[in-house]
Every structure is written in structure tokens, then in C-alpha cells.
Structure 1
Amino acid sequence: MTEGFRSEIRESDGSLEATARVVDAGGDDDERIVEAALRPKRLAEFPGQPRVRDQLGLVLRAAKQRGSTPDHVLLSGPPGLGKTTLAMIVAAEIERPIRVTSGPAIQHAGDLAAVLSSLDEGEVLFLDEIHRMSRAAEEMLYLAMEDFRVDVIVGKGPGATAIPLELPPFTVVGATTRAGLLPAPLRDRFGFTGHLDYYDAADLETILHRSARLLGVDADGEGIAEIAGRSRGTPRIANRLLRRVRDWAQVHGSGRVDQVAALAALRLFDVDAAGLDRLDRAVLEALCRRFAGGPVGLSTLAVAVGEETDTVETVAEPYLVREGFMVRTPRGRAATRRAWEHLNLTPPVGSTTQDVLPLDDGPGRLGSATD
């Protein structure tokens, strides 16, 4: 890759394509550029995830000392925890350029062959949402990752010929929010697999203090702590809320991000003390007020809140289940006692309110839960 291309990657931080799907309160190009600028550039600057950070650091340092290309890296975990940032850091730590693409963009083997054939030696190929690649592209990637070659098919039918194309050594960094959807042969070709967990409040406060300095925001500890406590353990959400509180303080306050500004801004943007937003509360309200706490099928619940089934299942449900507001049962979704208490409601007599989280019986036995 040329120096000019590396400069372009640095200017956009190589992440605009990968983060274009993020729905932000600002939503314009300036907001996405600010989001990218807040990303740490080195492992030493990366807060939280100490186990993954230390393991990945060891892999990269050892490869650099040997003068070889690092093993392929697979990063998994919920959205917003730093998978894209770590991919950029891998390239920075080994001082090599990075090529950014995504699984949905590679739907044919020819698409992947075009990307692979243009890689330089030692280059990092970042595949976001790698589980959404087509099967044909996955099978080509197997060979490329293991033997650094691809077979290009020329012609059709009986006269088709496979021409092997040798590739220089490179490193694939794959990111996925659903590691279970990756086929085993692809998963096994990654030399290092790291799973990112949600951050605790202390790590989020560290991230917010750093972001405030980079943004030139005057913030105190109480304001930062209030934002961190409502960020759902996710740095992306924490940085987004910080910018919204900054906006409120600039327009309505003294310009300082303190607890008063944080409380007022988060109230304006419908983020409550537990970190629940409008959709989360709508789901709980429907469960408790319309369906007496459940259980109720996912599609019925989605219709009740006026959202698509996938939106409820992938956006609202994971946090509600993790925080103990809702449970998944073989018969559907049900509210827990904490949900009733959070809404200041009293469970009806004879309701199926759960006090503890049952084990999920898995997708094979949840047919009625999705009706």
C-alpha cells in the first residue's frame, strides 16, 4: 500500500466505513470524525479489557521481535466495545498499513480475491462483521489465511481452470458481534481470539475523562460519574452521551459538564438512572402493562412497541436481560421483579414475575417465544 493511502486512512482513522451504521444524536460527518478521533491509537492508551489487551500485546510484541507477520486475530463481543479500535491498534503497533472492509461488502469470491490480491506484505486486513460474509468467500478465505494463496477460476463449465495466485504474508483481523455464527473451519484459522466484555464504571470514567480532554470539555468528577453510570458499560454510548451533555451545558448551562448538566441533558435525551432509553422502557411498559409481565412472544412484543422484531431482539433485549429486567423462557419474554420496581408498578396477583434468571433453553426450544 502506498504512503498516500496510509495518509488517507489516518485522516479518517480507517473507521468511518465501519462506524457509518452507528445512530448518533448528531448524525453528521463531523460527529463521526469526532468519534474516530477519540479512539486510542496504541495499546498502552486502551482502557479496560486488561486480559485481551495483555494477551494481544504479547502476540504483537513477539511477532515484531521475530520480524514475522502476527497470527490472524478474531475479536468478538457486543457493539461499541472497541473491536474496530483494536484492529487499528494492531496495525499501529506493528507499524503496517491497514485495509478496511466488511463482511456484507464481500458477497462473492471475486470480491475477496480482488482485495487479497492487492495486499502488500505485512498488511493488516480488517474484516468487520466477518460472520456476514458469503459462504463462497469464506471458503476462499480459509486457503488465503492458511497458505497465503487463492485459486482464481478462469472460464466456465468443463473448460474452467483454477490458477493459483500466491499472496504475501498478511494478518486478518476479524470482528464479529455473533461469534457463534462463524463456521468452525474459519474460527480455527485465527491464531488469537479475544472476547470483549462490557466495561465497569471505573473504566468508563477513565475513558470519559480522556475524551473530555480531547474534546476540550471542562468536566468534573460528578458529571463524568453520572454519565458513566448510564452508559450501559459501552464506551461508544459513553462518548455519545458526553457530547450531548456538552451540548446542553453549552446552550443552557455554564459550559461545564457537572452533575446538574448531566442530569438535565440525560433527562432530555430519555436516558434514565439505569441507562434505559425510550425503546427499553417501551418494551418493559408493554410487558408489564399490556401483558401482565408475560410470558409473551417476541413478535407480539415487537408489534406492541411499534418496532421490528430484530430491533427489539438485538437492540433492547440484550441489555434488559443482562441487567435483570427481563428473562427469556421457552414460552416467551417475561418481566422480572426488578422491571416492576423500576416502573413503580405492582405485579398483579398470580403473575409469572420472575425473581431469578432462568437458564435460556436455547434457540432449538424457543419456537413459541418468537411467535
Structure 2
Amino acid sequence: MTQQFPDHAAAAAAPGQRLVGAEEEPDEQTIESALRPKALGDFVGQPRVRQQLSLVLEASKLRGRSADHILLSGPPGLGKTTLAMIVAEEMGAPLRISSGPAIQHSGDLAAILSSLTPGEVLFLDEIHRMSRPAEEMLYMAMEDFRVDIVVGKGAGATSIPLELPPFTLVAATTRAGLLPGPLRDRFGFTGHLEFYDVAELELVLRRSAGLLDLPISTEGFTEIASRSRGTPRIANRLLRRVRDWALVHDVGHIDARSCAAALDMYEVDARGLDRLDRSVLEALVHKFGGGPVGLSTLAIAVGEETETVETVAEPYLVREGLIGRTPRGRIALPAAWDHLGLAAPEG
């Protein structure tokens, strides 16, 4: 009997979708939410952050008070939003979700803060993109649970103090260095999330496969994990694409060969590189002899915007030791030549 897979997505990825991008696609949000762990004990990876956060939450519950404000930093897709939801769940408190780009005026922040209930958890994603006036209002709200609302303009303006109920702010950022010192100092706990290793990603995939009722071998989990760039969100996305491939090809039990065939079809190679990544590497090696070459010239060679190459492809290639950044431009490192099946030139 053919194994049926519930709630399957479309068999092919949407045109232009980047399977190894850590940003969350709108049509993936419902499935991502279903796969998120609901308790700290179910959260896989980040052992140091989990241990420290567990202590913070347990101490606050013993004191009978709201937890200290929490700042979570790290690359996208590692679980910052999930941890914010877990904090609210562990504290038995409601969760309010907003983001830095959505708060462009101090009045926007005042409206959110004034509607909070005692003990509520406020999650602000990408807090580094909040406007400066709202940021300064947040200082007082975090420290004194009070904000000053300015009514009127000019000489007739008056300041009305507004008391706020105790609340816990959980903030997430992918660029902690952009946060001003006074804001960082007001967080009682700061946790930095690191990339996952293959073994941890296999645990994430096993849990997700169980929730999706997806039969897959141990070797299959390893194959997917090794192509997931150390990011759980990417791992879950690739798992769903493997599920789609297995459904269309009528595969009952998925092994490593099936996983490799599915991901090769989606142009995700054994090291997790996609079409854009390989285009950058091939241009650097074949057209420029390994470099050095300027970023704008490299971007033109692959037909992409400079910002796309610098922010989308380059971080992973640098982290994997495939390319290097020098004052004279980008260069291909020996690992890049090896990945393309070529011999690196002498010197």
C-alpha cells in the first residue's frame, strides 16, 4: 500500500523560492508554526541558552514576578521566535507579537504598551530596526514600567505619565551590534544562538518527521541535515520538499538516495549550496581565475544585484571557507576549487 502523507504542499517549489534561505516564506508560516516546540524541554539544540533561560524563568516563577527582559540574537532561522513563544508558554502568560519595522513612531509603541495586561510577554522581532524615538521611549518602559505621552505641540505641549503593568519584553535581532548600549544594558538576559551541527539537525528532523507522519531512514535524516546550512528552518523546509518528492514519485519509505535525488532536483547540493551560491563560486573560479575580484564585478558576472551577492550568498560561502574577503576583493579558497572538482592553482 502506498504511504499517504498528510497536509502536503505543492510538489514543486514556487518560482524563485530559495530553499536554503533562512527567511520565512509567507506560505510556510502555518506549517512552521505547527512544527515549533511548545516547551523548553522539547527545544532541540542551543544547550547553553536553554539552560540559562530555564534558570531565569524558574527563578521568576518562584518569585511570583514577571521574568526579566530577554534579548535573543543570532542568524535567522535558529529559533528566536520559537523561544519567545516558549517563554510565554512557560510563564503561563499571553503573548503579543510585533516587530521593529512596524514601530516607526513613539505613538505606535505607546499604543502597544498601554494595552498590555499584567505579566504579558511582548515579542519584538528585528528590534534593531525600530525608530529612534520609539527606542528612547522603550528605555523608560523597560526600566520603570512607565511612559510619558506628549500631548500637543510647541509651547502648549504637555507630558502625561502613563503607568504600565509589569511585562516581559523578549526581543530578537540578527544584528545585535546595531543596538545602542543603553538598550542592550536594560535586558536582564542576553542569549546568542549558534548554528546547529548535523547531529542536532537530525534530532530536529526526527521530531518534524514524526509530526508529519513521514517514514524516513536514519541515513535520510543525515542526508537532509548535511544540506541544511546548520539552520533548523532550512532543515524543515527541505524535509517538506523531500516529502513532496516522495509523494509524487510514490515512494513509501524514504532513504538517503531518495533524499539526495529530491534535493538534487531542487538544486541543493551535498554541501547545502544552491544555484546562486554555485554561480558565485563558478564565476569566481572560471571567469576570474580565483580572484581577487571586486564585489560589484562579481555580481555583474552572475547577473545579480551587489547587495544580493553580499547579503544572501556570501555569508554562507565565507563561513564554509569557500571564498575569502580581502582588501583587493573576493578570492576563491582551496575548498572552493575542491568543491567544483578542480585543482587549486599553486600559491
Cα distance in 2 for residues equivalent to 1:24 and 1:259: 19
Matches within 5 A, 1:24-173: 29=27, 31-173=28-170
Greater relative CO, 1 or 2 (CA 8 Å, sep 6+):
2
Q: Identity of paired residues, percent?
A: 71
Cα distance in 2 for residues equivalent to 1:267 and 1:253: 18
Matches within 5 A, 1:1-371: 29=27, 31-348=28-345
Assess if the C-alpha contact under 8 Å between 1:246 and 1:256 holds in 2. no
The one-letter code of the counterpart of 2:117 is D
CA positional deviation for 1:349: 6.0
Cα distance in 2 for residues equivalent to 1:130 and 1:300: 33
SS in 2 for 1:126: strand
Cα distance in 2 for residues equivalent to 1:24 and 1:103: 26
Deviations 1:157-199 (A, max 9, x none): 1111111111011111000011001111111111100000000
Assess if the C-alpha contact under 8 Å between 1:148 and 1:169 holds in 2. yes
Cα distance in 1 for residues equivalent to 2:191 and 2:241: 31
Assess if the C-alpha contact under 8 Å between 1:127 and 1:174 holds in 2. yes
Structure 1 runs not aligned, ≥5 long:
1-21, 351-371
Cα distance in 2 for residues equivalent to 1:146 and 1:277: 45
Assess if the C-alpha contact under 8 Å between 2:19 and 2:234 holds in 1. no
Give TM-score, length-normalised by structure 1. 0.85
SS in 2 for 1:44: helix
SS in 2 for 1:89: helix
Cα distance in 2 for residues equivalent to 1:27 and 1:169: 34
Cα distance in 2 for residues equivalent to 1:102 and 1:308: 27
Structure 2 runs not aligned, ≥5 long:
1-16
Deviations 1:237-292 (A, max 9, x none): 00000011111111114232211210110110111111111111111111111222
Give TM-score, length-normalised by structure 2. 0.91
CA positional deviation for 1:309: 2.3
RMSD: 1.6
SS in 2 for 1:257: coil
CA positional deviation for 1:328: 1.4
Cα distance in 1 for residues equivalent to 2:99 and 2:195: 23
* Residue 14 of structure 2: aligned partner: none
The one-letter code of the counterpart of 1:333 is R
Cα distance in 2 for residues equivalent to 1:139 and 1:343: 50
* Residue 13 of structure 1: aligned partner: none
Assess if the C-alpha contact under 8 Å between 1:246 and 1:255 holds in 2. no
Cα distance in 2 for residues equivalent to 1:329 and 1:105: 37
Aligned length: 328
SS in 2 for 1:275: coil
